[in-house]
Amino acid sequence: METTSKKEETRRTTLRNLTQAHIVCKPYTSGGVFRKVEGVMRNFSRNGSYIETSQPFKSGTILILRMEQYPRVAASADSDQWPRSFCLAEVKWQQSMGDKEPVRYGMGVRYLD
């Protein structure tokens, strides 16, 4: 079970749904060549999600997120319980996941409508 601090509870306006979905992301840009980066979506809400990748992206970066492996969700679930399969999202924060190899980065992203 995932726990949240009092500070996180007061900041969050929507419930987080746990998942383990394989994603691919890359910066949304008009120039330059960027490789796609694979990662895992760990939780989501109707407003955004928490992802982990092998490459960090700075706060403010707009990403194209595409879900490669859709998680199991009950057919009767509300739309808030289904993660977005393809979208643009802004990186709100990122942090290193520690000293483990390979290095992983956790990021909070907000979906753009």
Hey, where are the domains in the chain? 14-111
Beta-carbon neighbour count of residue 49 at 10 Å? 25
Say which amino acid occupies 79.
S
CATH of 14-111, one of 2.40.10.220, 3.90.1150.10, 2.40.128.720, 3.30.1650.10: 2.40.10.220
pTM for this structure? 0.77
- What string of pLDDT tens digits covers the 113 residues of the chain? 344 445 554 565 678 888 889 999 999 987 777 789 999 999 998 899 999 999 999 999 999 999 987 666 555 555 555 677 889 999 999 999 877 777 899 999 999 98
Looking at residue 90, its pLDDT comes to: 97
- Sign for the CA dihedral angle at 82, 88, 92, 96 comes to positive
